[in-house]
Structure formats: structure tokens, C-alpha cells
Amino acid sequence: MMTEAKNEQLERMRHSVAHIMAEAVQSLFPGAKFGIGPTIEHGFYYDFELSRALTPDDLPVIEDKMREIIAQDASFVRDEISRDEARTLFSDQPYKLELVDEIPDASLVVYKQGSFTDLCRGPHLASAGEARAFKLTHVAGAYWRGDEKRPMLQRIYGVAFESQEELEEHLSRQAEAARRDHRKLGKELDLFSVHEEIGPGLICWHPKGAVIREIIEDFWRVEHRRRGYDIVYTPHIAKLDLWKTSGHWEFYRDYLYSPMEIEGQEYMLRPMNCLGHILIYKSRLRSYRSLPLRYAELGTVYRYERTGVLYGLARVRGFTQDDAHIFCRPDQVEGELVGVLNLVLFMMASLGFKEYKVFLSTRPDKYAGTAQMWEEATECLKRALERLTLPYAVDPGEGVFYGPKIDVKLEDALGHEWQGPTIQVDFNLPQRFDVCYIGEDGSDHTAVMIHRTVLGAMERLLACLTEHYGGAFPVWLSPVQAVIIPIADRHVGYAQEIAGEFRSEGIRVLVDDRSERMNLKIREAQLDKVPYMLIVGDKEMGSASASLRLRSGEDLGLEGLADVKNRIKVAAEARA
RNA sequence: GCCCACAUAGCUCAGUAGGUAGAGCACGUUCUUGGUAAGAACGGGGUCACCAGUUCGAAUCUGGUUGUGGGCUCCA
């Protein structure tokens, strides 16, 4: 109850600060047209149409004006007026008029403070002087009512808290998030790059990023074989006709790369991996006895994403899905779904993601198949979730046109959400490609097809892992697990001996043999977030040992080589 | 795609009355061989993203292109 009341008060304050900002903008930009100004997580925004574009330099000026307004401490006055009065009041505010016309109530509520009156349900603070710590953070463009066909307004975002301390705490959390940004760490830790010369959204994996990827992919393969998947490889381009048959050309044309002509035939870069898998399935007659068949592929796909949506590794134009397609009988669907969900949970746990949200998306307005098919499949997905006692939320109408799905959103250490694994039942492709099997009765039956990824895409996964761990990857994923630091040049030979021995047992180790001081080498290994530093000098050489330092800064002192080796191997095997 | 901002050495960034460029780190050479987060000196390195325009003269002003960032819309 206490926190609820507190939240309500905070919401009220944030909303009032939005009004105060609007008043400040009104006085600084005469003729401003006002959109809406709601509260959001941590703060608020307000949308305006102004005579000129705002720049970041405008924010402190607006903040100063807001402080003046707060100092004047005008009361927030609630008033109820008729629709006609409202139309008169907002006669020069086209966006407000639009809102007035949409509210069905007979009388409308307005709030007035100082010289500013806004159409607003409230509630608000008693007076402007109750506003507390706030800061305007950034300006951005935003379509009126989120519709890209309507005018773009200028939005000012701000944050507001009950106290200066809370505001500063929030700002420092933001700063920590910026430090963990995978785009920044990707450069610092030498994981990946994108190049103007190659094209936006197309990723080059550097050796260290590639190590992480390779380890995860190897792990993925082993786990899939163990769970009855067959691994396949299929081409990255295919004739355009195939994509017409599948419906991709019709439904996703805006997201496809233009076809290319080869020997008078049009070919297209693949946006999905399914079709190759379907053709493998169809390469011979399938009996009900041989189902389910599970074809898995780390399949690279290319999708044309609009430039404005690209984001580091998390939203790209070429990416590798850990894809698989399960072909099964209707009576096998539920069991398969449970198997996939188990695999998802296992992968998430192995990668260190403890927080995730599960969403079940149901039938949209436009759909393939019959309502009954959707009903049954949705029930199957539900039962599978319930068998694993997984809490989930239903996203009504958010399914893809070809079938219902389960999406898993991961939450990283900073609370960012990432769309990861997805499990989709498909009613479209089996029909279009006549994907069937011979049943017990000797006749053809349409197979059920399940698309699924358990990691999502390798690119997005690396983004997510990097931010989750802040670049300090667990030992099993660390590109370099240990750096051996000889104190003086005469210790390099000993360091290399250790490195050879460790390497032969699968430990990723480097010798920092530069003629630099130990302090520098420690600092750099630390900045590289290498889990173990083995410092070796005269003492260690004489006792077949190394002095062990962890990236946490902890100095574990002298330890026998066998123990060090064992310690690293145990940590790697535990995936810790 | 849309709105706004930004683009200077490999990296992080200085460089506002327009007069052909700087620092730190990194890199190279040399000296130093040092016990738990940066030893020192010297040196190499930039057609100031690209293309036009204004100007006697453009990193600096204008327009366009490309890319990046913050958002909006979108994300099979």
C-alpha cells in the first residue's frame, strides 16, 4: 500500500512536471502547438510542434524557465468545461481539438497552472512548487499519435524523481548501462565491427567474438544431436519462384533484398531457412513411423531492415539464426513443444539468463489455415507451457499470419529486454508445399511444422551476452581465459612452458611477453576482462607455480600449476 | 523510411571572428627488467567521411551523399 501510494504520488509529480515543461515551452516558443505529454518509466515526455527545430542546447534554457515557473508556485486548478467551451479554448491547438473530439464524455477536464491550460484528466500536484528533482534528457522526433503518415512532432524527454539523490542514482545507472553498451564493448574488447564499405547492419566477427560464437555453436550442436535433431546445411540463395510459392514474396516483399539475375533466372538471398528444410523433407516419401523429423541449421539469413531500425548487433541485416524445423504428426505437437521449451530453458540457464518473460501470441485478423487449426495449436502451446509450469502472458492477436507462437524475452543484468527464442506453429507452408506423410491408413496426411530458435540469432545473442555480463564473460566463453605475465624477460621461457601445457589441455591462454612492466600488463589484462592472470617471476619459477590474480582484483597468491589448471577447467566446465 | 544531432590520426577527443591541423592512448625504435591497475625518451602517422558550391582562401559557411547516435514507425 505504501509503495502504491508513493508510486501514485511520483506519477502525479512527473505528469505535473510535463505540464510545467509545456508551460516553459509555451513562453519560450510563442505559437507552439501541443500534442500529448504523458508519464513514462522514470519520467515523462511532451510532444510539440514548434516554429523551429530544437537542439540539445535548448534543454538547459527550458529547464531554467521551468525552475522559474516552479519558484512562482502557481496552483494546478482543475476545471470541468463543456465540449463547446473546450473547442473555443483550444481553437488554435489542432492536436488538442482532435483529442477533444474523440473524448465521448459530455464535459471535459482541463488543468490550469499559471499561464498554461491543458486538456488533461489529471491528477496533478497541488501547485508547481511541489515539483522535485528533474532533468530534461533528450529531444527526438515522434509521429503524432504514433502514425508515420501524420506530422512529426518534436518530443522532449525528461526524468523526474522525488529527490536529487534518486535522480542522481538513476543517472548513474544510465551511465553504467552506457558502459555496458555492446557497441562500445564490442570495439574495446575487439569482438566485432561494421564497415561503411561493406554496408550497414552487416557484421564482421573478429577473432575474439568468433571464439565466443564458436563455443556457443559447438555447445548448441552437441545439445541438438543429444535431443534428436539432425543437422543440415542449405543454400543461401534460391530461385525467386520458390519464394513466390512460399508466400514470402507476397507477404514480406518490403523486407527482401532485390532478386538477382543468373542465366536468365531470378534468384533471391534467403530471408529464412525453412524452404531448404522442407525440400529435404520432401526429397522422399515420409511415413508416420519416421516422424518427428527435426532439421537444425545455424542458418544465415538476410533481411532488408530500414536504416533507422538498425542497432549494433541486436538489429542487423544479415544474421545467423539457430534455426530448426520440426515435422511431426498432430498427435506429436504437444510433446515436441515441451521438448523445445525444455531446450530453451536449458540454453537460457547455461548462458546465465535467469530472468525471462514468456509470451503466447494468438490469432491475428489475417491468418492462414482455419480457426479450428489455430484453436488446437494455441491449446497445444498453452498445455506445453502449463506442463512446464511456465508463467506466461497472452498477446492477443499478435501471432504471425501463419500460426500462433511463443516468444521468450530475456532480461539482461541491466533490465533490458531482448527478444530471443521463438517457437511457431506453421499452417501455411505445409499447405503451400504439400508437406505430408503416409499415415497408418496408407493415405496422405498434412504434417505439422514447427519453426523454432532456442537462442534467437548469434548476433543478437552476443549483444545480449555482452551487456548482461558487462563484457566480463564467464570462463567458458571468455575469448582469453588466462594471461600469463612474466615479471622480467628471463621469465618468458617459463611462461611459455606453462602456456604450452595449458593450451594442450584446451585452455585459451596468452603470454604477455612484451618488455613492459608487470603493472601495465595487469592493467591491460584487467581492462580486457580476462578472468585469470598468472604472474610468474623467480619465486614461481622455483616452485612450479604461478601467482594468481582474478579480474575482480582479488590476489590469490601462489598456487601450484596443477591447481591453477584445475581451477580454470572446473570453472569452464561449470560454465561459470 | 521519418525528425534531430554528429562525422578531425587505429581509439578517445581538442581545434567559433574562414588563413592549408593538435593532445592522450595505440603503433615503431631505444633505454629500463620492474612483484599485483599506466616507467621514460625519441619517432612515424591525418587530401579534417565523400561530392559540389560560396570565397583570394573552407576542418570551419551552404547544399547533397554516405555512415553513426538519440527517438518515432517497423521487426515473419
Residue A71 has pLDDT above 90, yes or no: yes
> Which one of A469, A490, A516 terminates a domain?
A469
Q: Which three cell numbers stand for residue A304?
A: 532488408
CA–CA separation, A437 and A435 (whole Å): 7
Average pLDDT taken over every residue of chain A = 93
| Nucleic strand B near CB of residue A402 (< 7 Å) | yes
Closest CA to A429 of A447, A407, A404, A406: A447
CA–CA separation, A212 and A214 (whole Å): 6
> Could you tell me if A457 and A507 lie in one domain?
no
Show the domain range for A245: 192-469
Distance A50 CA to B53 C1' (A): 30
> Could you tell me if A150 and A219 lie in one domain?
no
pLDDT at A397: 87
> Could you tell me if A487 and A554 lie in one domain?
yes
| Minimum-distance nucleotide, CA of A252 to C1' | B76
Distance A521 CA to B12 C1' (A): 21
Strands A116-119, A133-143: pairing kind:
unpaired
* Contacts of A301 by beta carbon, 8 Å cutoff, 6+ apart: A270, A271, A272, A273, A318, A319, A320, A321
> Could you tell me if A149 and A209 lie in one domain?
no
pLDDT tens digits along A205-242? 999 999 999 999 999 999 999 999 999 999 999 999 99
Q: Which three cell numbers stand for residue A249?
A: 514474396
Distance A528 CA to B37 C1' (A): 12
In a domain, A474, yes or no: no
CA–CA separation, A333 and A58 (whole Å): 58
In a domain, A270, yes or no: yes
pLDDT tens digits along A277-298? 999 999 999 999 999 999 999 9
Active site residue A124: no
pLDDT tens digits along A79-93? 999 988 899 999 999
Active site residue A274: yes
CB A515 within 8 A of CB A490: no
CA–CA separation, A400 and A241 (whole Å): 22
> Which one of A122, A139, A171 terminates a domain?
A171
Strand B interface, A 356-385, C-beta < 7 A: none
> Could you tell me if A206 and A72 lie in one domain?
no
CA–CA separation, A328 and A437 (whole Å): 9
pLDDT at A250: 86
Q: What is the CATH number of the domain that holds A407?
A: 3.30.930.10
CA–CA separation, A251 and A323 (whole Å): 21
Give the ipTM.
0.93
Residue A134 has pLDDT above 80, yes or no: yes
Q: What is the CATH number of the domain that holds A54?
A: 3.30.980.10
Closest CA to A21 of A13, A142, A174, A109: A13
Number of domains comprising chain A: 3
Active site residue A357: no
> Could you tell me if A380 and A494 lie in one domain?
no
| Minimum-distance nucleotide, CA of A306 to C1' | B1
Residue showing cell 598468472: A534
CB A299 within 8 A of CB A185: no
> Could you tell me if A242 and A369 lie in one domain?
yes
> Could you tell me if A499 and A384 lie in one domain?
no
pLDDT at A1: 45
| Nucleic strand B near CB of residue A349 (< 7 Å) | no
Strand B interface, A 403-432, C-beta < 7 A: 405, 419, 422, 424
Residue A139 has pLDDT above 70, yes or no: yes
In a domain, A386, yes or no: yes
CA-only gyration radius of chain A, Å = 30
pLDDT at A2: 53
pLDDT at A337: 96
In a domain, A475, yes or no: no
Closest CA to A24 of A53, A51, A46: A46
> Could you tell me if A130 and A220 lie in one domain?
no
Q: Which three cell numbers stand for residue A524?
A: 591491460
pLDDT tens digits along A469-495? 999 999 999 999 999 999 999 999 999
> Could you tell me if A495 and A439 lie in one domain?
no
Q: Which three cell numbers stand for residue A546?
A: 604461478
DSSP string, A109-123: EEEEETTEEEE----
CA–CA separation, A354 and A203 (whole Å): 28
A431 by Cβ neighbours in 10 Å (0-12 / 13-18 / 19+) ranks as middle
Distance A525 CA to B38 C1' (A): 12
For a pLDDT cut of 90, what percent of chain A falls above it?
A: 77
In a domain, A477, yes or no: no
pLDDT tens digits along A368-385? 888 888 898 899 999 999
In a domain, A180, yes or no: no
CB A99 within 8 A of CB A119: yes
In a domain, A398, yes or no: yes
Distance A225 CA to B34 C1' (A): 52
pLDDT tens digits along A507-527? 999 999 998 999 999 999 999
CA closest to C1' of B76 belongs to A400
Q: Which three cell numbers stand for residue A362?
A: 494468438
> Could you tell me if A341 and A486 lie in one domain?
no
Q: What is the CATH number of the domain that holds A505?
A: 3.40.50.800
Is the bond into A123 cis (omega within 30 degrees of 0)?
yes
> Which one of A171, A200, A217 terminates a domain?
A171
- HSE, CB side, 13 Å, CA atoms: give it for residue A480: 24
In a domain, A187, yes or no: no
> Could you tell me if A117 and A235 lie in one domain?
no
